[in-house]
Chain A
Amino acid sequence: MATVTQSRDIGFLKEQARIVRIEILKMLTQSGSGHTGGSLSAADIVTALYFYKLRHKPEDPKWRERDRFLLSKGHAAPLLYTALALTGYFDKSLLSTLRKTGSPLQGHPSSKMLQGVEVSTGSLGQGLSIANGMALGLRLDKSPSRVYCLLGDGEIQEGQVWEAAMTAGHYMLDNICAIVDLNSLQIDGRCEDVMKIDPVAEKWKAFNWHIFEIDGHNMEEIVNTLDEAEKIKGKPSVILAKTVKGKGVSIFEGKVEYHGLAPTKEELEIALKELGENGK
């Protein structure tokens, strides 16, 4: 498999994000179940990571000096699988096996079944602690590698997230960058109705993190912020990315019911048209 093509070119990254969205929707439709909204909301961020920021070698997934990416919001598995497939960790044809019996593409990521998945996730709230452990281990090793951890906004209702936030602040883990996908929705409704998480920035600040607040769909801002975060020393960084659940397809945008629903064939057709897939 080819080595990943990485670039900082915004046009290139936007185009990759478009392709990522198309693949996510195709695989979800084929599987008939899975999480559409949260995969699309974080698509631009994860594209920027895999196609630009992460130092990684898809042909050597356990490369010691790689940066680590942890999908703490494990239900966005279709997004992770697409990023892994399109950067060459495994053949794209595997994407059509999502959620099928015996497939390495489990409903939530399993590190024992799929190369490129750093650790199994799916039960919310656990990823940041694991990311901290990696960051501590890398620091002991004097490794320059960085750890990226993507969380959902509903997910930060879990108490363990704040235990982990305290740990990263206490140990001044500047080799870690958390990203919160603030799409404002969770499975039962709007976060502010289910369990208010605001003010989010003040919380992370209070736990001794450096805060970046960005538009999670503005590729230029994403890329610039990922670069800036690397320069922050002596404390961990968190990127609070304002996003739209279901972003990129009008019929899914901001619709809570697509948190855990896959598109129908008809919906896929509409989506592909909007994403300019030309009926491929």
Chain B
Amino acid sequence: MGSREEQKTQSTDFAGQAVATRDAYGTALAELGKRNEKVVVLDADLSGSTKTAKFAKAFPDRFFNMGISEQDMIGTAGGLSLTGTIPFASTFAIFETGRAWEQIRQTLCYSHLNVKLVATHSGITVGEDGASHQALEDVALMRVLPQMVVIVPSDGFETKQVIDTVAEYEGPVYVRLGRAKVPAVMPADYKFQIGKAYKFNIGRDVNIIANGIMVSAALQARELLSKEGIDAGVINMSTIKPLDTEILLEAAKSSKLIVTAEEHSIIGGLGGAVSEFLSENHPIPIKRIGTQDTFGGSGKPDELLKLYGLTAEDIVKTVTEFMRK
């Protein structure tokens, strides 16, 4: 056991580091376990992949491997929360939200239980495993549930803050993480708050509302667009529910076009949430970047991003086509 100072220097906040959000989670969770004895962790036989294995190694008594049984994992996490612990339950996003959706609805949300669902392997950047393992619907599934908070962090630095923050929040939360390494995008002075989007800048022509890995693509798109004389803004909407409607209104009122960008179906996720709000409150043209009502497939993450139209170039193309009209 090191002193407090030593532990602090060993820890990392991932500022400025390119890292997979699941790796940041594994480290953040193990550190959280040190600080907060109430934290317990459940996994469904994927702890090596979700990175909860790090917590399991450090705190074997507070780690419960539930085997390949996601529905039981959710119920057990709910029961654990009712004895005052703070359970984090992890597996791949499709199994967590899809296989156990009704358990999440009935047991966690309806009773407002203090369980944190932190799912990894979301989106097509899962890569080679293919469509069966690539959740493109999970945000839609979680967002529709009353009581649920839905968060999609953009990089390792934000992920670490999200994990620390949701541990302090009372109620069910869904955190969506990825498998592949992602570039650092958030500035060193960034402080995550639930329901608060981060404004890189507000553009006069277009504002790109992104989350997860697409924040990085949006920032690249902004540079490319500026070369074409288009003033683009970028907002990281890491909390999809509750939605930061104040920033959305500001973005919509300042520009001619809103673009949403997410590694998820264009149905029901960030694009859905933004469209629902703006169509009722400040109608403006909206273009949604995401997977087009389709399943994913096997391949290298970078190749898949190109194939499914989730690159900076795709954002640029969408914007310039709109501007030319």
Contacts and interface: CB of A to CB of B under 8 A. Distances in A.
Nearest to B81: A133
Contacts of A61: none
Contacts of A132: 72, 75-76, 79
B71 A129 contact: yes
B2 interface: no
Nearest to B105: A123
Interface string B173-205: 000000000000000000000000000000000
A130 B107 contact: yes
Given A120-B107, A120-B110, A133 B69 contact: no
A111 interface: yes
B271 to A, nearest CB: 31
B69 A137 contact: no
A167 B79 contact: no
Nearest to B71: A160
B75 A126 contact: yes
A110 to B, nearest CB: 7
B83 interface: yes
Contacts of A110: 110-111
B85 interface: yes
B62 to A, nearest CB: 7
Contacts, number: 109
Contacts of B77: 133
Interface string B101-137: 0110011001111000000000000000000000000
Contact of B107 (A126, A143, A166): A126
A180 interface: no
A112 interface: yes
Nearest to B85: A137
A241 B15 CA distance: 59
Nearest to A143: B83
A136 B110 contact: no
A274 B102 CA distance: 41
Nearest to A128: B75
- Among B76, B77, B106, the one with the most A-chain Cβ atoms within 10 Å of its Cβ is B76
Given A120-B111, A166-B67, A129 B85 contact: no
A138 interface: yes
Given A122-B106, A136-B79, A166-B67, A129 B74 contact: yes
Interface in B40-80: 40, 61-62, 64, 66-67, 69, 71-80
A176 to B, nearest CB: 10
Contacts of A127: 75
A136 B84 CA distance: 11
B82 A119 contact: yes
- Among B40, B67, B79, the one with the most A-chain Cβ atoms within 10 Å of its Cβ is B79
Contact of B75 (A68, A118, A160, A170): A160
A1 to B, nearest CB: 23
Contacts of A128: 75
Contacts of B74: 129
Nearest to B106: A123
29 contacts: A118-B82, A119-B79, A119-B111, A123-B102, A126-B71, A128-B75, A129-B72, A129-B75, A129-B76, A129-B103, A130-B79, A131-B79, A132-B75, A132-B79, A133-B80, A133-B82, A134-B79, A137-B40, A137-B83, A137-B84, A137-B85, A141-B83, A160-B69, A160-B71, A160-B75, A163-B69, A163-B72, A166-B72, A167-B66
Given A131-B79, A134-B80, 17 more contacts: A110-B110, A119-B78, A120-B110, A123-B106, A129-B73, A129-B76, A132-B72, A132-B75, A132-B79, A136-B76, A136-B79, A137-B85, A140-B83, A141-B83, A160-B71, A160-B72, A164-B76
Interface of A: 68, 110-112, 118-123, 126-138, 140-141, 143, 159-160, 163-164, 166-167, 170-171
> Can you list the 10 inter-chain pairs with the closest CB atoms, starting with the nearest?
A133-B79, A129-B75, A137-B83, A163-B72, A163-B69, A133-B76, A130-B79, A134-B79, A133-B80, A123-B106
